[in-house]
Amino acid sequence: DAKTTQPPSMDCAEGRAANLPCNHSTISGNEYVYWYRQIHSQGPQYIIHGLKNNETNEMASLIITEDRKSSTLILPHATLRDTAVYYCIVRASNSGNTPLVFGKGTRLSVIA
């Protein structure tokens, strides 16, 4: 699985969009970009994943650049409950059936 690079921390004002970047310059053509988050004292939680196209669900949007070397997770209207560590993971599987390789992630602090 390709490695990812994320900023260690970010702040976001409540109600504003939170844009979390991830670099994955060595990503292969068959590798997917996954995002999980971990709220303090809880297990990680799946957010979204994608291959090439931008994706949106009820939690977030995922924007993948055309060359697929980077992506951005967007939380459109951040709330205090979105304060968490966000992990960007690249993996060669479109299923949950292989182990996940986590980095250190980005600690997002949503500020009132």
Partner 1 sequence: DTGVSQDPRHKITKRGQNVTFRCDPISEHNRLYWYRQTLGQGPEFLTYFQNEAQLEKSRLLSDRFSAERPKGSFSTLEIQRTEQGDSAMYLCASSSPLDYEQYFGPGTRLTVT
Beta strands at 45-50 and 32-38: parallel, antiparallel or unpaired: antiparallel
Query: Among 25, 54, 65, 94, which residue interacts with partner 1 (rule: CB under 8 A)?
Result: 94
Q: Return the number of the residue (29 or 99) whose C-beta is nearest partner 1.
A: 99
By the rule CB under 8 A, 45 interacts with partner 1? yes
Asked if residue 25 lies in contact with residue 67, where contact means CB atoms within 8 angstroms, the answer is: no
Query: Among 29, 66, 81, 99, which residue interacts with partner 1 (rule: CB under 8 A)?
Result: 99
Query: Among 44, 59, 63, 72, which residue interacts with partner 1 (rule: CB under 8 A)?
Result: 44
By the rule CB under 8 A, 9 interacts with partner 1? no
Asked if residue 35 lies in contact with residue 47, where contact means CB atoms within 8 angstroms, the answer is: yes
* Distance from C-alpha of 23 to C-alpha of 69, rounded to nearest angstrom: 6
Asked if residue 81 lies in contact with residue 99, where contact means CB atoms within 8 angstroms, the answer is: no
Instruction: List interacting residues with partner 1 (CB under 8 A).
Output: 41-46, 49, 85, 87, 94-97, 99-105
